[in-house]
Structure 1
Amino acid sequence: MILVNTGNGKGKTTASVGQAIRALGQDHTVAFGQFMKRDNQAGEQRVLHKLLGDLFLAPGDGFLTKPEQFPKHRASSEKLIWWAKERIPDVDMLVLDEALYALSSKLITREELEELIALARNNDTHLVLSGRNAPQWLINEADLVTEMTEIKHHYKAGVPAQEGIEF
Structure 2
Amino acid sequence: MTPDSDQTEDDRHAAKMAKKKAARDKIMATKQGEKGLIIVHTGAGKGKSSSGFGMVLRCIAHGMPSAVVQFIKGAWDTGERRLIEGHFAHLCQFYAMGEGFTWETQDRARDIAAARAGWEKAKELIRNPDIRLVLLDEINIALRYDYLDVAEIVTFLREEKPPLTHVVLTGRNAKEELIAIADLVTEMTLVKHPFRSGIKAQPGVEF
TM-score > 0.5, shorter chain as reference: yes
1:52 aligns with 2:89: yes
> Percent of aligned pairs with the same residue?
35
**Partner residue of 2:58?**
22
Q: 1:17 to 1:67 in 2, by over 3 A?
A: closer
Cα distance in structure 1, aligned partners of 2:105 and 2:77: 23
| One of 144, 150, 154 as aligned partner of 2:184 | 144
- Cα deviation 1:42-97 (Å, max 9, x = unaligned): 11111122323671101211000179511111111111111111111321111100
- Cα deviation 1:127-158 (Å, max 9, x = unaligned): 00000011222212100011111111111111
Deviation for aligned residue 1:107: 1.3
Q: Could you list the runs of 5+ residues in structure 1 that have no partner in the other structure? A: none
Q: 1:67 to 1:93 in 2, by over 3 A?
A: closer
1:70 aligns with 2:113: no
Equivalent residues of 1:34, 1:97 under 8 A apart? yes
Equivalent residues of 2:97, 2:118 under 8 A apart? yes
Cα distance in structure 2, aligned partners of 1:59 and 1:66: 15
Give the TM-score of the pair, scaled to structure 2: 0.74
Cα distance in structure 2, aligned partners of 1:134 and 1:7: 8
Aligned-pair RMSD on alpha carbons?
A: 1.9
Deviation for aligned residue 1:120: 5.3
Aligned partner of residue 107 in structure 2, secondary structure: helix
1:128 aligns with 2:165: no
Cα distance in structure 2, aligned partners of 1:111 and 1:38: 24
Q: 1:40 to 1:49 in 2, by over 3 A?
A: farther
Deviation for aligned residue 1:3: 0.5
| Equivalent residue pairs, number | 167
Cα distance in structure 2, aligned partners of 1:67 and 1:154: 25
Equivalent residues of 1:36, 1:98 under 8 A apart? yes
Cα distance in structure 2, aligned partners of 1:118 and 1:5: 18
Deviation for aligned residue 1:4: 0.7
Q: 1:35 to 1:119 in 2, by over 3 A?
A: farther
| One of 76, 80, 92 as aligned partner of 2:132 | 92
Give the TM-score of the pair, scaled to structure 1: 0.91
Question: Hey, which bits of structure 1, 4+ residues long, moved more than 2 A?
Answer: 118-124
Higher RCO, 1 or 2 (CA under 8 Å, sep at least 6)? Answer: 1
Q: Could you list the runs of 5+ residues in structure 2 that have no partner in the other structure? A: 1-36
Equivalent residues of 2:143, 2:175 under 8 A apart? no
| One of 51, 64, 67 as aligned partner of 1:31 | 67
With 84-93 and 126-135 compared, the bigger mean Cα shift is at 84-93
Aligned partner of residue 108 in structure 1, secondary structure: coil
